[in-house]
Amino acid sequence: GGVGGGLGRGAACARSNGFAAVPSRLDVFGADGEALAQPLGKPLYRANLAEYTRAFRQESYGRLVSERLDGTARQLLEAAIALKQPMLQLSTFAPFTIDELVLKCPPTLECGRKPDAATVSKYLDTMCEDPVVKMASALNGKYMLNLQEMGNAIKQMTLESVIKFKFGELSARLYRMLLRGHARGECVAHGMRKYEVKQLADMAVLPDGETRPLLMRLLQAEYVLLQEVARTNDHNPRSTVYLWYVEPERAYRTLEAELLRTMHNLQARIKFERARQAEAVREVDPTGDGAVHEDPTSEGAQRLWLAQRRVDFLSHALLKVHETLMVVRTF
Protein backbone atom coordinates (compact mmCIF):
# COMPACT_ATOMS: atom_id res chain seq x y z
CA GLY A 1 0.00 0.00 0.00
CA GLY A 2 1.13 3.53 -0.67
CA VAL A 3 1.38 6.51 1.58
CA GLY A 4 -1.61 8.87 1.72
CA GLY A 5 -4.24 6.69 0.10
CA GLY A 6 -2.98 3.12 -0.19
CA LEU A 7 -4.08 0.14 1.84
CA GLY A 8 -3.00 0.15 5.45
CA ARG A 9 -0.91 -2.60 6.97
CA GLY A 10 -3.98 -4.01 8.76
CA ALA A 11 -5.70 -4.94 5.50
CA ALA A 12 -2.50 -6.29 3.95
CA CYS A 13 -1.83 -8.46 6.98
CA ALA A 14 -5.41 -9.76 6.99
CA ARG A 15 -5.30 -10.70 3.31
CA SER A 16 -1.91 -12.35 3.61
CA ASN A 17 -3.40 -14.64 6.27
CA GLY A 18 -6.42 -15.54 4.17
CA PHE A 19 -8.95 -13.24 5.88
CA ALA A 20 -11.09 -10.54 4.31
CA ALA A 21 -9.91 -7.02 5.04
CA VAL A 22 -11.78 -5.45 7.94
CA PRO A 23 -11.76 -1.67 8.43
CA SER A 24 -9.56 -0.76 11.34
CA ARG A 25 -7.82 2.42 12.39
CA LEU A 26 -4.81 1.55 10.26
CA ASP A 27 -7.01 0.82 7.23
CA VAL A 28 -9.02 4.03 7.50
CA PHE A 29 -6.05 6.30 8.19
CA GLY A 30 -3.33 4.56 6.21
CA ALA A 31 -0.07 3.04 7.40
CA ASP A 32 1.39 6.42 8.34
CA GLY A 33 -1.80 7.85 9.88
CA GLU A 34 -2.78 9.95 6.83
CA ALA A 35 -6.53 9.86 6.21
CA LEU A 36 -7.82 7.81 3.30
CA ALA A 37 -10.46 9.12 0.92
CA GLN A 38 -13.01 6.43 1.85
CA PRO A 39 -13.17 3.50 4.26
CA LEU A 40 -12.48 0.15 2.65
CA GLY A 41 -15.78 -1.35 3.74
CA LYS A 42 -18.61 -1.27 6.22
CA PRO A 43 -17.51 -0.87 9.85
CA LEU A 44 -17.81 -3.95 12.00
CA TYR A 45 -18.78 -3.96 15.66
CA ARG A 46 -18.17 -6.36 18.49
CA ALA A 47 -19.18 -6.59 22.13
CA ASN A 48 -16.73 -5.14 24.64
CA LEU A 49 -16.71 -8.16 26.95
CA ALA A 50 -14.12 -6.68 29.29
CA GLU A 51 -16.24 -3.58 29.91
CA TYR A 52 -19.40 -5.67 30.18
CA THR A 53 -17.78 -7.91 32.79
CA ARG A 54 -16.46 -4.92 34.72
CA ALA A 55 -19.90 -3.27 34.77
CA PHE A 56 -21.54 -6.55 35.79
CA ARG A 57 -19.11 -7.00 38.68
CA GLN A 58 -19.60 -3.44 39.86
CA GLU A 59 -23.39 -3.81 39.76
CA SER A 60 -23.15 -7.08 41.70
CA TYR A 61 -20.91 -5.49 44.34
CA GLY A 62 -23.34 -2.60 44.66
CA ARG A 63 -26.33 -4.90 45.02
CA LEU A 64 -24.57 -6.91 47.75
CA VAL A 65 -23.67 -3.79 49.73
CA SER A 66 -27.16 -2.37 49.30
CA GLU A 67 -28.75 -5.59 50.60
CA ARG A 68 -26.35 -5.91 53.52
CA LEU A 69 -26.48 -2.21 54.51
CA ASP A 70 -28.34 0.45 52.51
CA GLY A 71 -28.19 2.73 49.49
CA THR A 72 -25.73 5.11 51.14
CA ALA A 73 -23.20 2.31 51.55
CA ARG A 74 -23.65 1.51 47.87
CA GLN A 75 -22.91 5.14 46.98
CA LEU A 76 -19.70 4.98 49.01
CA LEU A 77 -18.73 1.72 47.30
CA GLU A 78 -19.30 3.21 43.85
CA ALA A 79 -17.29 6.29 44.81
CA ALA A 80 -14.40 4.12 46.01
CA ILE A 81 -14.48 2.08 42.80
CA ALA A 82 -14.49 5.27 40.71
CA LEU A 83 -11.56 6.50 42.81
CA LYS A 84 -9.49 3.38 42.08
CA GLN A 85 -11.05 2.27 38.78
CA PRO A 86 -7.89 0.73 37.22
CA MET A 87 -7.62 -1.69 40.16
CA LEU A 88 -11.11 -3.14 39.72
CA GLN A 89 -9.90 -6.11 37.67
CA LEU A 90 -7.49 -7.20 40.41
CA SER A 91 -8.34 -9.39 43.39
CA THR A 92 -6.98 -6.75 45.75
CA PHE A 93 -7.92 -3.09 45.88
CA ALA A 94 -5.68 -0.06 46.32
CA PRO A 95 -6.08 1.57 49.76
CA PHE A 96 -7.69 4.98 50.03
CA THR A 97 -8.20 7.56 52.77
CA ILE A 98 -11.47 8.93 54.09
CA ASP A 99 -10.63 12.38 52.74
CA GLU A 100 -10.09 10.98 49.24
CA LEU A 101 -13.43 9.18 49.38
CA VAL A 102 -15.28 12.25 50.68
CA LEU A 103 -14.08 14.27 47.69
CA LYS A 104 -15.33 11.57 45.29
CA CYS A 105 -18.79 11.21 46.88
CA PRO A 106 -21.91 12.92 45.47
CA PRO A 107 -22.93 16.23 47.12
CA THR A 108 -25.76 14.56 49.06
CA LEU A 109 -25.90 10.93 50.17
CA GLU A 110 -29.03 8.82 50.04
CA CYS A 111 -29.39 9.07 53.82
CA GLY A 112 -29.89 12.82 53.38
CA ARG A 113 -26.54 13.87 54.81
CA LYS A 114 -23.60 15.51 53.16
CA PRO A 115 -20.53 13.26 52.81
CA ASP A 116 -18.54 14.28 55.87
CA ALA A 117 -15.66 12.32 57.39
CA ALA A 118 -17.67 11.06 60.37
CA THR A 119 -20.49 9.59 58.25
CA VAL A 120 -18.10 7.99 55.77
CA SER A 121 -15.95 6.55 58.57
CA LYS A 122 -19.01 5.05 60.28
CA TYR A 123 -20.14 3.29 57.12
CA LEU A 124 -16.66 1.99 56.32
CA ASP A 125 -16.27 0.59 59.83
CA THR A 126 -19.63 -1.17 59.46
CA MET A 127 -18.49 -2.68 56.16
CA CYS A 128 -15.32 -3.91 57.88
CA GLU A 129 -17.31 -5.65 60.64
CA ASP A 130 -20.12 -7.25 58.63
CA PRO A 131 -20.68 -10.79 60.01
CA VAL A 132 -21.40 -12.36 56.61
CA VAL A 133 -18.70 -10.78 54.44
CA LYS A 134 -16.03 -8.27 55.40
CA MET A 135 -16.53 -5.86 52.52
CA ALA A 136 -13.63 -3.61 53.54
CA SER A 137 -10.51 -3.67 55.69
CA ALA A 138 -8.79 -0.93 57.70
CA LEU A 139 -5.05 -0.50 57.22
CA ASN A 140 -3.00 2.20 59.00
CA GLY A 141 -5.66 4.87 58.76
CA LYS A 142 -6.65 3.82 55.24
CA TYR A 143 -9.36 1.50 53.94
CA MET A 144 -9.37 -1.12 51.24
CA LEU A 145 -12.26 -2.90 49.51
CA ASN A 146 -12.18 -6.70 49.69
CA LEU A 147 -13.43 -7.38 46.16
CA GLN A 148 -12.36 -11.02 46.14
CA GLU A 149 -14.24 -11.80 49.35
CA MET A 150 -17.27 -9.90 48.11
CA GLY A 151 -17.26 -11.87 44.87
CA ASN A 152 -16.98 -15.14 46.78
CA ALA A 153 -19.90 -14.11 49.01
CA ILE A 154 -22.02 -13.28 45.96
CA LYS A 155 -21.37 -16.75 44.52
CA GLN A 156 -22.04 -18.52 47.82
CA MET A 157 -25.29 -16.68 48.48
CA THR A 158 -26.41 -17.32 44.90
CA LEU A 159 -25.74 -21.03 45.38
CA GLU A 160 -27.64 -21.00 48.68
CA SER A 161 -30.62 -19.27 47.07
CA VAL A 162 -30.73 -21.93 44.34
CA ILE A 163 -30.64 -24.69 46.98
CA LYS A 164 -33.50 -22.99 48.84
CA PHE A 165 -35.57 -22.71 45.66
CA LYS A 166 -34.96 -26.32 44.56
CA PHE A 167 -34.95 -28.20 47.86
CA GLY A 168 -36.69 -25.97 50.41
CA GLU A 169 -35.83 -23.93 53.48
CA LEU A 170 -34.60 -26.84 55.65
CA SER A 171 -32.18 -28.07 52.98
CA ALA A 172 -30.91 -24.52 52.54
CA ARG A 173 -30.30 -24.29 56.29
CA LEU A 174 -28.21 -27.47 56.23
CA TYR A 175 -26.33 -26.33 53.17
CA ARG A 176 -25.56 -23.00 54.77
CA MET A 177 -24.10 -24.88 57.74
CA LEU A 178 -21.86 -26.89 55.43
CA LEU A 179 -20.71 -23.79 53.55
CA ARG A 180 -20.30 -21.39 56.47
CA GLY A 181 -20.10 -23.50 59.63
CA HIS A 182 -16.30 -23.35 59.72
CA ALA A 183 -16.36 -19.53 59.63
CA ARG A 184 -19.24 -18.89 62.07
CA GLY A 185 -21.59 -17.74 59.35
CA GLU A 186 -19.13 -15.77 57.24
CA CYS A 187 -18.85 -16.44 53.52
CA VAL A 188 -15.29 -17.77 53.31
CA ALA A 189 -14.24 -20.26 50.64
CA HIS A 190 -11.28 -21.92 52.35
CA GLY A 191 -11.24 -24.49 55.15
CA MET A 192 -14.50 -26.38 54.55
CA ARG A 193 -15.23 -28.83 57.37
CA LYS A 194 -16.83 -32.25 57.33
CA TYR A 195 -19.70 -33.11 59.65
CA GLU A 196 -21.61 -36.15 60.77
CA VAL A 197 -25.39 -36.18 60.49
CA LYS A 198 -25.80 -35.69 64.23
CA GLN A 199 -23.52 -32.64 64.22
CA LEU A 200 -25.43 -31.06 61.34
CA ALA A 201 -28.76 -31.84 62.96
CA ASP A 202 -27.67 -30.18 66.20
CA MET A 203 -26.39 -27.06 64.43
CA ALA A 204 -29.50 -26.76 62.25
CA VAL A 205 -31.84 -27.62 65.16
CA LEU A 206 -33.40 -30.53 63.24
CA PRO A 207 -34.14 -34.15 64.21
CA ASP A 208 -31.74 -36.77 62.84
CA GLY A 209 -34.60 -38.49 61.05
CA GLU A 210 -35.35 -35.35 59.01
CA THR A 211 -31.73 -34.41 58.38
CA ARG A 212 -30.58 -37.57 56.62
CA PRO A 213 -33.23 -37.56 53.82
CA LEU A 214 -32.49 -33.91 53.10
CA LEU A 215 -28.78 -34.64 52.81
CA MET A 216 -29.46 -37.63 50.56
CA ARG A 217 -31.42 -35.41 48.15
CA LEU A 218 -28.54 -32.95 48.03
CA LEU A 219 -26.10 -35.83 47.51
CA GLN A 220 -28.18 -37.21 44.65
CA ALA A 221 -28.10 -33.78 42.99
CA GLU A 222 -24.29 -33.66 43.51
CA TYR A 223 -24.39 -30.51 45.62
CA VAL A 224 -22.87 -32.26 48.66
CA LEU A 225 -20.36 -35.09 49.00
CA LEU A 226 -20.11 -38.02 51.41
CA GLN A 227 -16.91 -39.54 52.79
CA GLU A 228 -16.76 -42.92 54.51
CA VAL A 229 -14.19 -43.30 57.28
CA ALA A 230 -13.89 -46.96 58.31
CA ARG A 231 -12.77 -47.69 61.86
CA THR A 232 -12.13 -51.39 61.19
CA ASN A 233 -10.46 -53.27 58.35
CA ASP A 234 -13.65 -55.10 57.39
CA HIS A 235 -15.46 -51.77 56.71
CA ASN A 236 -18.37 -52.70 58.92
CA PRO A 237 -21.14 -50.12 58.31
CA ARG A 238 -21.87 -49.99 62.04
CA SER A 239 -18.34 -48.88 62.80
CA THR A 240 -18.00 -46.59 59.77
CA VAL A 241 -18.24 -42.82 60.18
CA TYR A 242 -20.03 -40.94 57.39
CA LEU A 243 -18.92 -37.35 56.92
CA TRP A 244 -20.85 -34.81 54.85
CA TYR A 245 -19.15 -31.86 53.22
CA VAL A 246 -19.30 -29.40 50.32
CA GLU A 247 -16.64 -28.91 47.68
CA PRO A 248 -17.51 -25.40 46.41
CA GLU A 249 -15.91 -25.62 42.97
CA ARG A 250 -17.68 -28.90 42.26
CA ALA A 251 -20.98 -27.46 43.49
CA TYR A 252 -20.53 -24.46 41.19
CA ARG A 253 -19.87 -26.78 38.24
CA THR A 254 -23.05 -28.68 39.06
CA LEU A 255 -25.00 -25.43 39.24
CA GLU A 256 -23.47 -24.22 35.97
CA ALA A 257 -24.48 -27.44 34.18
CA GLU A 258 -28.04 -27.11 35.47
CA LEU A 259 -28.21 -23.48 34.37
CA LEU A 260 -27.00 -24.37 30.87
CA ARG A 261 -29.63 -27.12 30.59
CA THR A 262 -32.30 -24.70 31.77
CA MET A 263 -31.21 -22.09 29.22
CA HIS A 264 -31.35 -24.69 26.44
CA ASN A 265 -34.87 -25.74 27.46
CA LEU A 266 -36.04 -22.13 27.71
CA GLN A 267 -34.66 -21.29 24.26
CA ALA A 268 -36.44 -24.31 22.77
CA ARG A 269 -39.69 -23.32 24.48
CA ILE A 270 -39.36 -19.70 23.31
CA LYS A 271 -38.88 -20.91 19.73
CA PHE A 272 -42.04 -23.02 20.02
CA GLU A 273 -44.06 -20.18 21.55
CA ARG A 274 -42.92 -17.75 18.86
CA ALA A 275 -44.18 -20.16 16.21
CA ARG A 276 -47.56 -20.20 17.97
CA GLN A 277 -47.44 -16.42 18.17
CA ALA A 278 -46.84 -16.21 14.41
CA GLU A 279 -49.93 -18.37 13.83
CA ALA A 280 -51.98 -16.10 16.07
CA VAL A 281 -50.72 -13.04 14.15
CA ARG A 282 -51.80 -14.58 10.85
CA GLU A 283 -55.28 -15.12 12.29
CA VAL A 284 -55.81 -11.50 13.31
CA ASP A 285 -53.83 -10.03 10.38
CA PRO A 286 -54.39 -12.29 7.35
CA THR A 287 -53.29 -9.60 4.88
CA GLY A 288 -49.97 -9.01 6.60
CA ASP A 289 -50.26 -5.23 6.45
CA GLY A 290 -49.75 -4.81 10.20
CA ALA A 291 -53.35 -3.82 10.93
CA VAL A 292 -55.50 -5.93 13.27
CA HIS A 293 -58.70 -6.89 11.43
CA GLU A 294 -60.45 -8.44 14.44
CA ASP A 295 -62.10 -7.10 17.55
CA PRO A 296 -59.54 -6.95 20.42
CA THR A 297 -61.96 -8.98 22.52
CA SER A 298 -62.25 -11.75 19.93
CA GLU A 299 -60.86 -15.22 20.49
CA GLY A 300 -58.04 -14.73 17.97
CA ALA A 301 -56.91 -11.46 19.54
CA GLN A 302 -56.94 -13.09 22.97
CA ARG A 303 -54.78 -15.95 21.70
CA LEU A 304 -52.32 -13.44 20.27
CA TRP A 305 -52.17 -11.57 23.58
CA LEU A 306 -51.58 -14.80 25.53
CA ALA A 307 -48.90 -15.92 23.08
CA GLN A 308 -47.07 -12.62 23.47
CA ARG A 309 -47.34 -12.85 27.25
CA ARG A 310 -45.82 -16.34 27.22
CA VAL A 311 -42.91 -15.21 25.05
CA ASP A 312 -42.27 -12.20 27.28
CA PHE A 313 -42.39 -14.33 30.44
CA LEU A 314 -40.02 -16.95 29.04
CA SER A 315 -37.63 -14.29 27.73
CA HIS A 316 -37.52 -12.66 31.16
CA ALA A 317 -36.86 -16.05 32.78
CA LEU A 318 -34.03 -16.66 30.30
CA LEU A 319 -32.43 -13.34 31.24
CA LYS A 320 -32.61 -14.20 34.95
CA VAL A 321 -31.02 -17.60 34.38
CA HIS A 322 -28.30 -15.98 32.27
CA GLU A 323 -27.64 -13.47 35.05
CA THR A 324 -27.18 -16.31 37.55
CA LEU A 325 -24.82 -18.04 35.12
CA MET A 326 -22.82 -14.82 34.81
CA VAL A 327 -22.43 -14.71 38.60
CA VAL A 328 -21.07 -18.27 38.64
CA ARG A 329 -18.65 -17.64 35.77
CA THR A 330 -17.54 -14.08 36.55
CA PHE A 331 -16.48 -14.28 40.20
Residue 235 placed within a domain: yes
Q: Which residue range(s) make up the domain with 260?
A: 251-330
Domain-located, residue 165: yes
Residues 21 and 87 in one domain: no
Residues 191 and 230 reside in one and the same domain: yes
Say if 204 falls within a structural domain.
Answer: yes
φ, ψ of residue 139 to 5 degrees: the values are -150, 100
Q: Are residues 119 and 67 in the same domain?
A: yes
Are 41 and 59 contained in the same domain?
no
Does 94 share its domain with 177? no
Same domain, 265 and 291: yes
Residues 73 and 40 in one domain: no
What contacts 24+ positions apart, CB below 8 Å, involve 99-102? 101/76, 101/143
CATH code for position 206 = 1.10.10.10
Domain boundary among 45, 60, 76: 45
Give the sign of the dihedral formed by CA 20, CA 23, CA 28, CA 33.
negative
Asked if 232 and 239 touch (Cβ cutoff 8 Å), the reply is yes
pLDDT tens over the chain, length 331 residues: 444 444 444 444 444 444 444 444 444 444 444 555 555 678 888 889 888 888 899 999 999 999 999 999 999 999 998 887 655 554 557 789 999 999 989 888 888 888 899 999 999 999 999 988 889 999 888 999 998 889 999 999 999 999 999 999 999 999 998 988 766 667 776 667 899 999 999 988 888 889 999 999 999 999 999 998 877 776 677 778 889 999 999 999 999 999 999 999 999 999 999 998 888 888 777 666 655 555 666 777 788 889 899 999 999 999 999 999 999 999 8
Task: Tell me whether residue 150 is in a domain.
Answer: no
Last residue of a domain, one of 222, 246, 270: 246
Pick the last residue of a domain from 122, 145, 168.
145
Q: pTM of the entire structure?
A: 0.77
Are 26 and 96 part of one and the same domain? Answer: no
CA distance 193 to 184: 12
pLDDT at residue 17 in the model: 47
Total number of domains in the chain: 4
Q: Write the CA distances from 309 to 279, 313, 321, integer angstroms.
A: 15, 6, 18
Residues 197 and 127 in one domain: no
In a domain, 107, yes or no: yes
Q: Looking at the domain assignment, is residue 5 inside a domain? A: yes
Assess contact for 213 and 168: CB atoms under 8 A: no
Whether residues 189 and 259 share a domain: the answer is no
Domain for residue 68, yes or no?
yes
Residue 268 maps to a domain: yes
Residue 73 and residue 17 share a domain: no
Whether residues 237 and 268 fall in one domain: no
